[in-house]
């Protein structure tokens, strides 16, 4: 099983976070690298969807997504207060760190009244996109883009 296929499996199963299995349960089924990367992909997709909904007239779209971010973060915090293996604890703490930043970005989008995905405040964020046709992840920030090469440096 290649890492690309494991990423595909993680990405596809994450699509039902709020239906079949919540994100805080889903993360136990995949290695940290897949969980962290997939979480970043979905944060990008969900953030952009909320910004597009805002641009389409749903005035509270980004605020609603901020509530989703807060709820997911609270669930992760509950997990680290319990019994976990060392690997799972490290994985969850890493996601909490990313989620706090992600939540703060969404809060800033609300505070600054950003109106769409073309706004610089959104474009300056590190964004991850799943490319299904090639099973690749593309990373963008401002006008720079690169392919994610499945190398992970860190403690996860």
- Per-residue pLDDT of 83-117, as tens digits, reads 999 999 999 999 999 999 999 999 999 999 999 99
**What does the pLDDT average to over 33-51?**
95
- Cβ within 8 Å of residue 132, ≥6 positions away: none
CB atoms near residue 11 (< 10 Å): 19
pLDDT of residue 156: 46
Q: At 129, is the secondary structure helix, strand, or coil?
A: strand
Q: Measured between alpha carbons, how far is 92 from 32 in angstroms, rounded to an integer?
A: 9
pLDDT surpasses 90 at 16 = no
148: three-class secondary structure by DSSP = coil
Q: What pTM did the predictor assign?
A: 0.92
**Edge-to-edge, what's the strand order for the sheet holding 136-141?**
127-131, 136-141, 144-147
How far is Cα 60 from Cα 63, in angstroms, rounded to an integer? 5
């Amino acid at each position: 099983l290649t890492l690309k296929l494991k990423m595909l499996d993680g990405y596809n199963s994450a699509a039902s976070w709020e239906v079949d299995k919540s994100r805080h349960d889903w993360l136990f089924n995949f290695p940290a690298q897949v969980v962290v990367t997939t979480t970043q992909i979905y944060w990008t997709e969900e953030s952009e969807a909320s910004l597009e909904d805002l641009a389409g007239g749903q005035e509270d779209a980004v605020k609603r997504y901020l509530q989703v971010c807060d709820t997911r973060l609270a669930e992760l915090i509950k997990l680290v207060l319990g019994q976990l293996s060392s690997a799972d604890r490290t994985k969850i703490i890493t996601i909490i760190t990313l989620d706090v930043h992600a939540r703060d970005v969404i809060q800033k989008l609300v505070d600054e009244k950003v109106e769409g995905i073309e706004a610089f405040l959104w474009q300056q964020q590190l964004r991850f996109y799943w490319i299904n046709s090639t099973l690749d992840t593309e990373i963008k920030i401002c006008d720079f883009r690169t392919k994610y090469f499945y190398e992970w440096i860190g403690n996860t």
